[in-house]
Amino acid sequence: MIRHARLVNSLGPRDGFGEVALLGDEPRTATVRAAAGAPLRVAIIERPAFLTAVTGYPVSAATGHDVVTRIQARDDAGLTAANDDGARHGA
């Protein structure tokens, strides 16, 4: 995942992305690119169906909020690390 032209996270099999934008009704927070030659399978779910599945039940809604908070913290930490690394290497 790329944010502000910096790699902030790498996804593996069965990892998901896009939930922050879907839950927060805001623009996406990062760009996802597949590695050259990497096998890729993508599923698409429309926002209304996603929201019903995640926020339609109290336990799911609380979990969804926690997931967004963790993802944003993880991506912010990755961006900080990428910026620190770039500064050390003169980028």
Q: How many independent structural domains does the chain possess?
A: 1
Q: Provide the residue type at 78 as one letter.
A: G
- For 30, counting Cβ atoms within 10 Å of its Cβ (0-12 exposed, 13-18 middle, 19+ buried), the class is buried
The pLDDT of residue 87 is 60
pLDDT at 26: 80
Rounded to the nearest 10 degrees, the angle between the axes of helix 47-55 and helix 58-88 is 110
pLDDT by residue for the chain (91 residues), tens only, comes to 888 888 888 888 888 888 888 887 888 878 888 888 888 888 888 888 888 888 787 777 778 778 878 887 887 887 777 676 666 655 5
Q: What angle do CA 33, 64, 21 make, to 5 degrees?
A: 40
pLDDT in the model for residue 15: 83
Q: Which domain holds residue 66?
A: 2-32+42-88
**Is residue 19 in some structural domain?**
yes
At residue 72, the pLDDT reads 79
**Residue 37 domain-assigned (yes or no):** no
**Element spanning 32, H or E:** none
Task: Specify if 47 maps to a domain.
Answer: yes
pLDDT of residue 14: 82
